[in-house]
Copies of this chain bind each other. A is one copy, B any other.
Amino acid sequence: MNGPQDVGGRHGFGTVVPEDESLRFHADWEKRVLGVTIAAASLGHWNLDASRFARESLPPAIYYGASYYEIWLRALEGLLERAGEVSKRERSTGRAETRGLRAERCLSADAVDAVLSKGSPSSRPGADPKFSIGDMVRTLNLQPSGHTRLPGYARARTGRVTAYHGSHVFPDTHSSFDGEKPCPLYTVCFEAVELFGETADPTLSVSIDAWEPYLERA
C-alpha cells in the first residue's frame, strides 16, 4: 500500500539522532511490547507479513506520531482483536471476558531459546528464475491497496540484477493469508539519478530486494 510506512526518499522528517549502542530500551514498557509481540506471534494467528501490514495500516497521523514500539503495540492490539483473542473492551478493562482460543500454542519459557534460534526462514523451493545476474530490469507500476514490498521510490524504474536469492515467500499474498506463493527473489540495483532525478548524488546507487512479479525485462 501507498501507506505511511513508505517513506524512502520523502522530505520533512528532520534530522537523524544517533544513540549510544549500550542503550537497549528507552522505557520498561518497550521491553514488554517486544516480549509480548514475539510471544503472541507463536499463537500462529498471523505471519510476519500480516504483522507488517497491520503496522503500515495504522492511520498516518498515528504512525508518524508514534515511536516504533508504539506502532508494534497498536498493530498487535489490532491483530489480536481480529483474531478474536482480545477485544477492545478487554484491552480497556484489562480483564479477560472469554477464554483464549489457542492457549495450547502458548509459548513456554523453555521453548524461547529454540524458537528465537530457529527463526523463520522464508526461502522455499520454487520455479527457475527468469532473470540472470547482470540483466537490466524495470520495476512495474504496482500500487496495490494491500501489502507489498516494492517501495514507491523504486516503482517504474530501471536497474540491474546484482544477486539472486532463490525463491522466497511472496509477501503480497502471504500478508493477506492467500498463500506463500514463493517466487524468485533478486537484488536490483539502481543509480540514484534514475530514482530521484538528475540532481541526485552521482556517486550513489540504491538496491532493493525484489520478487520476480515486481519486475519486467528492461
A residues contacting B by CB (< 8 A) are 1-4, 9-14, 56-61, 64-65, 140-145, 152, 156, 196-199
On whether A59 and B156 interact (CB within 8 A), knowing A143-B197, A197-B140, the answer reads no
Among B1, B10, B61, B141, point to the contact of A11 (Cβ < 8 A): B1
**Can you list 26 residue pairs at the A/B interface with Cβ under 8 Å?**
A1-B11, A1-B12, A2-B9, A2-B10, A2-B11, A3-B10, A3-B12, A9-B143, A12-B56, A12-B57, A12-B59, A12-B60, A14-B59, A59-B64, A60-B64, A61-B61, A61-B65, A64-B64, A140-B197, A141-B197, A141-B198, A142-B197, A143-B196, A143-B197, A143-B199, A156-B156
Known: A3-B11, A60-B60. 5 other contacts (CB 8 A): A2-B9, A60-B64, A65-B65, A140-B197, A141-B197
